[in-house]
Structure 1
Amino acid sequence: MWTVLDAMTHSRAENIGTQTAKRQEHKLTNLIKHIYPHKSLKVATKSTEAVTVVNLSSKELSEDTVSVLSRGLNFAPTPRRIPVEDIITNIENTIFRNKIPHGDADCLRQDVSTLLRKSPLPKSNITLKEVSALRELRNDESLLVLPADKGNATVVVDTEAYEHKITQMVGDTSVYCKVSYNPTSRVTTKVNKLLHIIGDKELVAQLRPLNPTPPKIYGLPKIHKSNWPLRPIVSQIDAPTYKLSRHLATLLQPHTGKTSSYVRDSRHFVELLEGIQLQDTDIMVSFDITSLFTNVPVDEVIQIITTLLGGTTLPTGYVESITYCLKSGYFLWRGDFYLQIDGVAMGSPLAPVVANIFMEWFEEKALESANVKPRYWWRYVDDIFAVVARDSLKDLTSHLNRVHAKIEVTIEEEKEGKLPFLDVLVIREPNGRVTHTVYRKPTHTDRYLRADSHHHPSHLSSVPRTLLNRALALCDHDYVNAELRWLAWQSWRYGRDGAARPAVPHPLGTTLPAQVRLATILWLKQS
């Protein structure tokens, strides 16, 4: 009986998944055609898959190139040879760090040596034509392959167009200032001086910058907007302030999230929604801050942090360290160095917590001075969900845009009784009750780490398990069945392709796709 039910559910889930994927593909394709009417876009799709590769370049991509790119930028091809030298080096480092006794270390070396001699190469997970396509793409300096800003699509752009956009971006003198010197040594010297404040020698040794390199800027294309503007990211890994900034962020984090409006994540938001009742005169809206990170007023946020830490036991010198990390932002672009005049760089470990601290101050000031108070107001960093009276919405929006000169607030109103927030779709029922389900943007690809990627099995099995847990957490009883049907089809997609894709073991002893379909059956039986 279970075999028959499993087959029936698999078929139903596949049909529902196909229809949903086609709707998403149609929405994104129409959106892109509307945004880019001047050129013919090469959007790679399959009949049952959403858009995964968006070609914004001037070149046609071969089928093999599209095929390998559609696997995702996190897809790992199987190695052409076993990396013996790397494995031995890592083993020796592990022996040294953990101070393994000589006898045990020799046994470990012998076991590893035996395994390396007997281990065959894994079967290739891409074709020879795809290998050739990857090689050609890697050698083509006129093209760049980037992740989309949102949705996990793979975007192909002309290198010249991309570099032109970055150059235009860093030329904004209100945000960046070009300098004729390399600030790295100067910043490194200052960081080493600031580390003396900490006092803990072991911690200082961990935070001290070793062989630092300049931060580097790059951009993620916003494919859902006209002319694909870039979201600037400054990679600060190995930068002089990176380790110190990360440490300071961990110290600041416990001082945030104590307001009644704080939303920890999507699951927390769903918990907050329980029991709310909307009135006919209410409207659900979401507010968003335009380019929050680059518009955070650094001098003001330092004053806020100084007040925030005033009642703590942290040394006062920590404020000096925070100030320097926020004000010493710089990056390298095409051989030139730029200082960031104001705002915080996306990519800095301090950026999220500092932005959150500023937004807590902003919303407190905004709500205290507002003539009209929202019935509900919840915030995740710069994304705000609110329920307000329809006739007061315009006044509230205008008020929010007057609170601070650098902060611009945009608004999205509910449509047909539905409003997305984070990855939750909030749905108004006729009786004023609120329900919710998983939300996917039109740019969402439903593309996750594939089961044939050369990753550890624990990483592979975590993908569908995480999706299942999300479905059960974010969907109420009215919508969980549809989401589980969709998830069962996605899990079938995730584990199809026959022998080329190994089954992913589940802790309960079954393959995870079948486990998800079983969960669907159980939920269907309850309804």
Structure 2
Amino acid sequence: MVGVLKSTNNTKSNLSKDEKIALKDLRKEDTILILPADKGKSTVVLDKKDYEEKVNIMLNDDKTNEKLKNDPTARYKKKLVSLLTRFKKEEKITVKEYWKLYPTVENNPRMYCTPKIHTSGNPLRPLVDYCGSIMYETSKELARILSPLVGQSQHHVINSKDLAEDLVEIMIDEGEEFISHDVVSLFTNTPISESLEIIRHRLTEDASLNERTKLTVDDVMEILAFALTTTYFSFRGQVYQQKFGTEVGSPVSPIVANLYMEWLEKEAIATAPVNCQPRLWKRYVDDVLEIVNKGSAEQLTSHINKIDKTGNIKFTYEKEENQQIAFLDTLIVKKPDGSIKLLVYRKRTHTDQYLHFQSHHPLQHKLSVIRTIMDRKDKVITEEEDKPIEESKIKEALKLCGYPEWAFKDVDKKKPPKKEPSQSVTRGMVVLPYKEGLSQRARRIFNKHGIQTSFKPHQTLRNILVHPMDKRDSLQTAECVYEIPCRNCEKPT
């Protein structure tokens, strides 16, 4: 490995001199913020002062957030360690699991926002960077334990392919129409007490819980309640406590919100008046697709908005237009005979921006872009005559991103076989920063020793220019390698 490192030349930059100067100037500019849009591949440039004013207005809403005088991290860590220590003593978690969940760093979760450019007024969506916080590993473990409970419903949608398979045989009567519902800010409005009751009931009925953990239902509920009621974050040096809902960024939040929505939809469908009873109800997290009688959308919306007794979960709805409606990344089109077909849907803010072929990424990453988009075309579009039209759009967009014709032919020739479960024993995996030539040679060396490798871009425009979160002190950096001075010389190792 040392020989490989010594013999590798520096990679030629794929940026021109003018582009490098422009990047340097943009990095120095402190009056603007460059952010990714909430959805899609768009990049948004905001006045920094305007952005911070909007965020502060949001945070100063005392119904949802409370300013804290003191940082609660040390207090919360003490409580978490107490719980973990008790579980270890009772042999409900192993020593290895204890040290995996033990919070070795004490970083505050950091809040930032992304602009919703697809929504009128371009409001901001709050997000929280949970990595490096004391509850991060524990939240991941809770998500692992609870995730098998999600999706045990005929109304659950996994992805667009799953939706396409469910809709392929659907026929629409003349007196029916498609509508869709969307929950307003689901995560931050999910009621915690009610969700905990629902999850306790589901865990009690789960016969396979002891296959995933030695923790009892009471144990899981105790640590889950702790995780969901210690939601705090910082913004520009000020620490806030979130008063209601789950924290956007915590690994367990999507699971909790999903389980609450499964309960809510079951209640809503069972108690809906006959004249607005949906014939079809398909839900992906906070988006719902329904088939209802024409003219019943408002009544159904009024009904489902009364199910959540806290009054926080509210739905908005959209009706089909011109015999079609968008749901996820599909466009559902009603045909004259009552059958339907599905096409790929792109929002009006869609940019056709994909990984550029000249970017410094492994070739397999670039070919995967083609493979993924073509795969979506094959799995979502239901009628064969529509597929060549979509394929033409894909090729046109990717050619603008520098993709040569041979890349499409290569993907078409080398369709990956279905992966069989590997029988070989591996000694783990390492993630290597990608450097053309060096990384491939390093992979071959690691493979000889049974170590799997994957590549990660070392430097991208996003990590150079996009910095929405508060900057951390270098000593607060987690999961890194520190420079340790040798005892016998002045050179660091």
Report if aligned partners of 1:290, 1:409 keep a CA contact under 8 Å in 2. yes
Report if aligned partners of 1:284, 1:386 keep a CA contact under 8 Å in 2. yes
Q: Deviations over 1:119-151 (max 9, x none)?
A: 222222111111111111111111111000112
Distance 2:248 2:116 in 1: 15
- AA aligned to 1:413 is K
Partner secondary structure for residue 2 of structure 2: helix
Q: CA deviation at 1:406?
A: 1.1
Distance 2:339 2:324 in 1: 12
Give the structure 1 partner of residue 468 of structure 2: none
Report if aligned partners of 1:377, 1:386 keep a CA contact under 8 Å in 2. yes
Give the structure 2 partner of residue 161 of structure 1: 50
- AA aligned to 1:387 is I
Give the structure 2 partner of residue 102 of structure 1: none
Report if aligned partners of 1:495, 1:513 keep a CA contact under 8 Å in 2. no
Q: CA deviation at 1:495?
A: 2.9
Give the alignment partner of residue 251 of structure 1, picking from 145, 166, 170: 145
Give the alignment partner of residue 431 of structure 1, picking from 337, 343, 364: 337
The answer to whether the aligner puts 1:203 opposite 2:97 as a matched pair is: yes
Give the structure 2 partner of residue 443 of structure 1: 349
Partner secondary structure for residue 296 of structure 2: helix
Distance 1:482 1:518 in 2: 21
Give the alignment partner of residue 182 of structure 1, picking from 67, 71, 86: 71
Give the structure 1 partner of residue 220 of structure 2: 318
Give the structure 2 partner of residue 54 of structure 1: none
Q: CA deviation at 1:226?
A: 4.0
Q: Deviations over 1:191-230 (max 9, x none)?
A: 1122232421111111111122000000001123344211
Give the alignment partner of residue 15 of structure 2, picking from 107, 126, 146: 126
Distance 1:113 1:398 in 2: 68
Give the structure 1 partner of residue 456 of structure 2: none
Q: CA deviation at 1:249?
A: 0.5
Distance 2:75 2:96 in 1: 24
Paired residues for 1:96-495 under 5 Å:
112-196=1-85, 197=87, 198-312=92-206, 313=210, 314-315=215-216, 316-372=218-274, 373-404=277-308, 405-476=311-382, 477-495=384-402
Distance 2:377 2:93 in 1: 47
Report if aligned partners of 1:234, 1:346 keep a CA contact under 8 Å in 2. yes
Report if aligned partners of 1:491, 1:516 keep a CA contact under 8 Å in 2. no
- AA aligned to 1:513 is F
- AA aligned to 2:248 is M
Q: CA deviation at 1:386?
A: 0.4
Distance 1:297 1:367 in 2: 20
Distance 2:223 2:188 in 1: 20
- AA aligned to 1:511 is W
- AA aligned to 2:336 is P
Report if aligned partners of 1:436, 1:479 keep a CA contact under 8 Å in 2. no
Please give the TM-score of this superposition, normalised by the length of structure 1: 0.73
Give the structure 2 partner of residue 513 of structure 1: 408
Runs of 5+ unmatched residues, structure 1: 1-111, 497-502, 504-509, 520-527
- AA aligned to 1:400 is I
Counterparts in 2 of 1:227 and 1:276: CA distance versus 1, 3 Å: closer
- AA aligned to 1:368 is A
Q: Deviations over 1:289-310 (max 9, x none)?
A: 0111111001110111111111
Distance 1:331 1:161 in 2: 21
Q: CA deviation at 1:382?
A: 0.8
Distance 2:295 2:2 in 1: 75
Distance 1:442 1:195 in 2: 49
Distance 2:115 2:74 in 1: 32
Q: Deviations over 1:380-434 (max 9, x none)?
A: 1110000011032222121112222111111111110111100011000011010
Partner secondary structure for residue 480 of structure 1: helix
Report if aligned partners of 2:108, 2:133 keep a CA contact under 8 Å in 1. yes
- AA aligned to 1:377 is W
Give the structure 2 partner of residue 40 of structure 1: none
Report if aligned partners of 2:354, 2:398 keep a CA contact under 8 Å in 1. no
Q: CA deviation at 1:379?
A: 0.5
- AA aligned to 1:342 is F
Counterparts in 2 of 1:254 and 1:493: CA distance versus 1, 3 Å: same
- AA aligned to 1:126 is L
Q: CA deviation at 1:466?
A: 0.7
Distance 2:324 2:47 in 1: 38
Q: CA deviation at 1:457?
A: 2.3
Q: CA deviation at 1:491?
A: 3.0
Please give the TM-score of this superposition, normalised by the length of structure 2: 0.78
Q: CA deviation at 1:468?
A: 0.9
Distance 2:18 2:220 in 1: 56
Distance 2:123 2:298 in 1: 29
Report if aligned partners of 2:367, 2:411 keep a CA contact under 8 Å in 1. no
Distance 1:295 1:394 in 2: 22
Q: CA deviation at 1:512?
A: 2.3
Runs of 5+ unmatched residues, structure 2: 415-493
Distance 1:208 1:444 in 2: 42
Q: Give the alignment's Cα RMSD to 1 decimal.
A: 1.7
- AA aligned to 1:117 is K
